[in-house]
Structure 1
Amino acid sequence: MKRSLISAACCALLLLSAPSHAQQLSGIDLKTLDTAVRPQDDFYGYVNGIWVRNTEIPADKSTWGTYIELREIAQGQLRSVIEATVKHPGKAGSETHKIADLYTSFMNEKARDAAGLKPLRADFARVAAIQDKRELPALFAYLQSTGVPTPFSAGVSPDAQNPEQYTVSINQSGLGLPDRDYYLKDDDAKLKGLRDKYQQHIATMLAMRGDQHAAEHAAQVLDIETRLAKVQWTRVQMRDPVKSYNRVEFARFSELAPAFDWNAYFTAAGYAPKVSSAVVRQPSFLTGLSQQLDEVPLDAWKSYFNWRILESYAPYLDRASVKQNFAFEGTALRGVPQSEPQWQLALRFTDASLSDAVGKLYVQTYLPPETKPRVMAMFNNFVASFKDGIDKLDWMGPETKKEAQAKLAALKPKIAYPEKWRDYRAMKTSKTDLIANVKAARAWSRQNNLDKLGKPVDRDEWSMTPQTVNASYSPLLNAITIPAAILQPPFFNVQAEDAVNYGLLGITFGHEISHAFDDSGSQYDSHGRLRNWWTAEDRAAFKARAAGLVKQYSAYSPVPGYHINGELTLGENIGDNSGLSITYNAYQRSLGGKPSPVIDGLTGEQRLYIGFAQKWRAKLRPEAAIAQIKSDPHSPGEFRAKGTVMNQPGFYEAFGIKPGDSMYLPPEQRVIMW
């Protein structure tokens, strides 16, 4: 495994090290092509039709596709890394010893069964001891320090108005179901049915801890969550960074939400006296929460917090609790018939708790040193193509173009792994007590976040781990992150000509760079400051084009009766559409003016688009698809593939798309933002 991964990682920049033409492969998975389908009529079906027909979603997964396949590969790699530490943990207190402790404690089901709910007795007793609502602020602060959800969350992040310093940010929270619609859509039988199952699940779990009035308390929990859902902002509303930036002095929080002792909370949470204000993302939610704190009896709030505690720790308790938790969270909510194997659950917990310690071992084992500089060169090729694209925009004036070029020039790439690793020496671990390890990891994370207050923003810090199969853009840091784990098959093929690798991996570069200029990211400047750097005319032109994407994607219905929310997914759809346009241009740039080679009867341009569509091949269980539509800003894979190529001029040329073909969009309806 290790040997093949190193070979794969070396192809991170194929344009520098591609094999000779005689050795080149197309890189296309030809077995999945359904040649009975015309690409002009159903491109996704043409590229992935045979795969879709012949692939079954594994029993322990809610979805399956190229991304999940790569994640499974990375999980296998991590398993070898972590299980090696179990065999040779090193000295007590070392990072490898801590990794071994966490993994071993999770795998020890006998110890977990013997412990039952006893590790949570102190937390339940803390809730039971509350006699007055004035004690709730201290409870909020304590639960947040242990990672237990409360009606609002609070954390430290860069200040959008002053990116050199950190600020406290407060966000709405407190729901157990994926989105507010699950509580409020009475005309949707599926969502209403899940709501009923959720209440029964709460009652079952509470009864398992000995609650003699579990049904009554479950009804109280659902009532509180429904009240919170009614005053929450929608996910579309939360995408507006200007409306979501509201700085409030601590002294004025009592005007916003008078039923809560904010001074007591900020002191107990450790924010005061370090700072004297916070950014409130949804001010009206706090006002609504205050009303509910005033109206709902204390005993009902106690039921709510008992449930939040139990739910938060359920995956780490005895087998009976884990089984019941999965019956709802996995099967009812996402349609997954069986749980993942124990080792995979243990690995995920260990990885999340000691992410940089695990990542350091992962990089040492699976990533050769020459990969990072090669990928950096690929990144520079994409930046150059994006730069040319900005210059050629016919809808943007010179003043805004100058600002856009400055932002692009300042964009920071974070490739493969961080330069600095987090220090876990303060985290205490146990080989036998899983709940103690869960609490220790959560407390470390909370304290690590809190310690940032008063310090300059660390612009080199990573928000992802090297072993994560994903990528990201941070508008506050104006930085993209490309972790090591995606620098391998199926996103790479060392024997393939560049085209398919551009369509599989290269689009990741184009997509993340485009996030700097999507409907939300474009409201931050080159330094990550929330600032309007657009002329009024150019912003209007941008919004008009964005409206076209909203309309296009809102027409797609992955599950009968459920349409993609074009406004919620707009940022990701801009990333896909602009990213693929830049990817095409970058590939053309790599050819140096020469025609692309024809391999397996396909031109380079055709292979690029086919690779892109193969990247997004996926099958979802209906329950998982509904959850994604309601809560995820990404469109389901089929529509990321077909919706994006329909806007690309190069796609029409590569496959001869003409009026009358199902994949044809009239030129005036095609949208390329950048």
Structure 2
Amino acid sequence: MHTTMLRKGGSVLALGLRLGLGLGLGAAAFDCSGQSMLAAPATVLPGDDFFTHANSAWLARTEIPADRSSWSAFSALGESTDDRIVALIAALAADKSAKGDARKVADYYTAFMDEALIEAKGASPLWPALARISSIGDKRALARALGASLRADVDPLNSTDFETANLFGLWVAQGLADPARNMPYLLQGGLGLPDRAYYLTDSAPMAALRAAYQQHIAAMFKLAGFAEGASRAARVMALETRIAQSHASREDSADIVKANNSWTQADFAARAPGMDWPAFFGGAMLEQAGVFTVWHPAAVTGAAALVASEELATWKDYLAFHQINAQADVLPKAFGAQHFAFYGTVLAGTPQQGTRSKRALAAANGALDEAVGRLYVERYFAPENKLRLGQMVANIVAAFSRRIEKLDWMAPATRAQAQEKLKTMQVGIGYPDRWASYEGLAVLPDDAYGNAQRASQFHYAQQLARLGQAVARGAWAMAPHEVNAVNLPLQNAMNFPAAVLQPPFFDPGASDAANYGAIGSTIGHEISHSFDDQGAQFDAQGRLRDWWTKEDKAHFKQAADKLVAQFDAYRPFPDLAVNGRLTLSENLADLAGLDAAYDAFEASLDGKVMTAQAGREFFLGYATSSQSKVREAALRQRVLTDSHAPDKYRTAIVRNMDAWYKAFDVQPGQALYLTPAERVRVW
């Protein structure tokens, strides 16, 4: 199983508007011409390049590890957290008295680590699934098989799970119009490359990636014993290209109003002909689901038409390849090596595969995330950190509230609704009040492939069981040992996992200024997601509802458009610019969150004057928490697909804050300087 961690804010509605982080998204160590900044001079002025000014020493001494596509402060913290957890699991594996979910974690990890047994089994674990695919005799059976491949927990706004390529994704969450009940959302899927742009962009780099992907498909067929791998790969590639042609863009996917399409099961046959929908829903065990929210109607319609028009043999090749591809890590070494050669090296520029133990932990995290997190919390999380962070959250919420009260452009009715959102916001710090149970999940210490299959089916069944049920308001969206944070607009809630509450983001020994700049800006960022271009569409109960006056909305849009233009001007490479519209939510949250954190820190001084030194410590705390480097291939992928701008440009959000100019004496003529009239002010 493959996991991606984020840093400072991805958008996930019920899954959350989350932080974005080091192992995955949002890092950059390139200047505007695309040149590497491995040894940037310490004399760079803050007003010319604040990211480099704050991080030049780190950039000069830090190399990206060979098994990573990027490296950052978040990556380093994640690595040290993982090392601790691996040691805990190893001790459990040796302790035969371990019981319950802890035993499952140990056995899952042990099975994944048993490479000799995996090699001895060869490709045989695949055979039952491939035999079922081979036996598909007509389009009705195909529809049922496509339904059976459906899996849940898909992020509608920021999904990176493109390597499993189920034709659609299922998301179970509270309704947009009825936040009291959970309902099913159906989303576009079906691609083995990260985004439609990889199939449809007419450029030499994209053409090269497409050729490499087709070669990867052929290689995986060959490893699994299929004849005519090259011709099968060509058919799969052609089919995925046709699927991509009906996909929505990333920008359209982020438009929640466009996503709010209610279809009954009967509507699917009329609106998306070509698929035997009763067979599909039967295979997916969704016969009892009455109404769906179809997030990407054109993609659903397009995929259904392809089920009718494409040859059955092509679809069977498609299903077979993705069955092989998705399970590469629990098959013999040659499968995992080929998978990494494409997804790791070609697509992300990572020269070396991670150790088996790292991949084993990632797999255990995917299957038993809260059980792993509980081990970490019980051993390493200090209860006093939860109390201190709770107070900091309260201070920053209060600062945001004061900012709302001072907005001269906001109507009283809109202001009252905004304050209600703040007042009712739920904040989870450290770990959930109730731990998830994995009772019923069979985990064997000698069956890595079977464990992965059973875990996937177990989680899918759990999600289906939530349909029609009342929403659990206190439910968490991420594991406690994940170095991350998340805003949940449908729940009007936030999560700050235990693992992120460590240095350099939260350091009990650091100054308040540095902590407010680092973890405080993160807290402010997550609060602000409730009021960005996406979060502001939901009311205090998590209902999709327009609670803005027409004039307030126009003012907000005008300020947001200025921020779009500001980020559109950033160019990590001569041929590739940041997409200000795609990254707008994160940029708005960065700006508003940093503003609120600064105000909260100033209020914590109890009337004392903010010194220039304290101001500098605050902003440097923010910038140094964004320390990051990324390989070119990975950076290009992120600029195209990620809702986070590269960290170099995210750090430059400070150019919109008057206090930053004062703290660092930033003057006209310096690269980041904006006149007061040009500075974007939203909240």
What TM bracket, shorter-length normalisation? over 0.9
Structure 2 counterpart of 1:535, from 540, 549, 560: 549
Match of 1:29 in 2: none
Is 541-550 or 654-663 further displaced after alignment? 654-663
* 1:119 counterpart = 2:129: no
Aligned residues: 635
1:661 to partner: Cα distance? 1.9
In structure 2, relative to structure 1, the CA distance for the partners of 1:337 and 1:550 (3 Å cut) is: same
| Residues 614-667 of structure 1: CA deviation (Å, up to 9, x unaligned) | 11121110000011111110111111112x111111101111122222221122
* 1:613 counterpart = 2:623: yes
Distance 1:559 1:313 in 2: 35
**Structure 2 residue identity aligned to 1:108:** D
The 4+ residue runs of structure 1 with deviation greater than 6 A are: none
* 1:203 counterpart = 2:210: no
Q: Report the structure number with the largest CA radius of gyration.
A: 1
* 1:386 counterpart = 2:396: no
SS in 1 for 2:483: coil
Structure 2 counterpart of 1:189, from 195, 204, 207: 204
| Aligned counterparts, 1:11-30, within 5 A | none
1:258 to partner: Cα distance? 1.3
Task: State the percentage of identical aligned residues.
Answer: 39
Distance 1:370 1:134 in 2: 58
Structure 2 counterpart of 1:159, from 145, 168, 175: 175
| Aligned counterparts, 1:590-629, within 5 A | 590-596=604-610, 603-629=613-639
| Aligned counterparts, 1:204-243, within 5 A | 204-243=219-258
* 1:178 counterpart = 2:185: no
| Aligned counterparts, 1:264-343, within 5 A | 264-273=279-288, 275-343=289-357
Is 213-222 or 41-50 further displaced after alignment? 41-50
| Residues 495-521 of structure 1: CA deviation (Å, up to 9, x unaligned) | 221111111111110000000000011
Distance 2:573 2:209 in 1: 16
SS in 2 for 1:668: coil
Distance 1:495 1:461 in 2: 32
Distance 1:467 1:422 in 2: 14
Distance 2:59 2:223 in 1: 41
**Structure 2 residue identity aligned to 1:646:** R
Structure 2 counterpart of 1:90, from 89, 93, 97: 97
* 1:251 counterpart = 2:262: no
| Residues 291-337 of structure 1: CA deviation (Å, up to 9, x unaligned) | 21222111111111111101110122101111111100100000101
Distance 1:123 1:238 in 2: 32
1:141 to partner: Cα distance? 2.3
Match of 2:33 in 1: none
1:177 to partner: Cα distance? 0.7
Match of 2:658 in 1: 649
Match of 2:276 in 1: 261
* 1:100 counterpart = 2:106: yes
Unmatched 5+ stretches in structure 1: 1-31
* 1:485 counterpart = 2:462: no
Structure 2 counterpart of 1:411, from 405, 413, 425: 425
1:35 to partner: Cα distance? 4.2
Q: Is the 8 A contact 1:146 1:443 kept in 2?
A: no
Distance 2:216 2:286 in 1: 36
SS in 2 for 1:253: helix
Distance 1:581 1:34 in 2: 29
Q: Is the 8 A contact 2:217 2:321 kept in 1?
A: yes
Structure 2 counterpart of 1:421, from 435, 444, 448: 435
Match of 1:48 in 2: 55
1:672 to partner: Cα distance? 2.6
SS in 2 for 1:667: coil
Match of 1:59 in 2: 66
* 1:80 counterpart = 2:87: yes
**Structure 1 residue identity aligned to 2:671:** S
Q: Is the 8 A contact 1:146 1:439 kept in 2?
A: no
**Structure 1 residue identity aligned to 2:655:** M
Match of 2:670 in 1: 661
**Structure 2 residue identity aligned to 1:215:** A
1:492 to partner: Cα distance? 2.5
| Residues 468-500 of structure 1: CA deviation (Å, up to 9, x unaligned) | 000011111010110000111121333221111
Match of 1:135 in 2: 141
1:91 to partner: Cα distance? 5.0
TM-score (norm 2): 0.91
1:265 to partner: Cα distance? 2.0
Q: Is the 8 A contact 2:152 2:171 kept in 1?
A: no
Distance 1:252 1:635 in 2: 38
**Structure 2 residue identity aligned to 1:452:** R
Is 132-141 or 571-580 further displaced after alignment? 132-141
* 1:497 counterpart = 2:504: no
Q: Is the 8 A contact 1:105 1:431 kept in 2?
A: yes
In structure 2, relative to structure 1, the CA distance for the partners of 1:505 and 1:145 (3 Å cut) is: closer
**Structure 1 residue identity aligned to 2:658:** P
1:89 to partner: Cα distance? 4.4
Distance 1:240 1:215 in 2: 39
Distance 1:416 1:265 in 2: 40
1:131 to partner: Cα distance? 1.1
1:344 to partner: Cα distance? 0.8
1:71 to partner: Cα distance? 0.9
Query: What is the CA RMSD across the aligned residues, in angstroms?
Result: 1.5
SS in 2 for 1:387: helix
Distance 2:287 2:241 in 1: 31
SS in 2 for 1:154: strand
Distance 2:506 2:675 in 1: 34
Distance 1:42 1:433 in 2: 52
